[in-house]
Amino acid sequence: MNLIIRLLISAIVVLIGAYIIPGISVDSFGTAIIVAIVLGLLNALVRPVLDLLTLPINFITLGLFHFVISVLMIYLTAAIVKGFHVEGFIPALLFSLAISILGGFTSKALATDKKII
């Protein structure tokens, strides 16, 4: 049940990101759900490999190359999912930052380990 709630919230975060950032478009809520699933799978499976392969570049750039990897994940998601469009590097970067920030807030809000004194 928690996975379904997180998926729906991730889809809402994708829609909010597409709404506030020009150059990003999502056709429907169903497309946003698919974007959330594909992006989550790519971040879980492909991103660790890319992080490992680009470790020297990431070290030299003091971690700034990590943003390029995030943009690549957004582009790859746009290539896989029909109805999700990205119109440039800057919109993809801003979208990546927006979903990271909004996703962090929602993860914090969904944390169930609240202690009552």
Task: Tell me whether residue 117 is in a domain.
Answer: no
Does some domain include residue 21? Answer: yes
Range of the domain at 79: 2-110
Per-residue pLDDT tens over the stretch 46-71: 999 999 999 999 999 999 999 999 99
| 7 lies in some domain | yes
Task: Kindly state the average pLDDT of the residues 30-48.
Answer: 94
82 assigned to some structural domain: yes
> With contact defined as beta carbons under 8 Å apart, do 68 and 34 qualify?
no
CB-CB contact of 25 with 95 (8 Å): no
CB atoms within 10 A of CB 2: 8
17 located within any domain: yes
Residue at 66 is within a domain = yes
In a domain, 98, yes or no: yes
Dig out the tokens for 11 from the structure: 């889809």
Q: pLDDT for 10-35, tens place per residue?
A: 999 999 999 999 999 999 999 999 99
**How many distinct structural domains can be found in the chain?**
1
Q: How far apart are CA 114 and CA 117, in angstroms?
A: 10
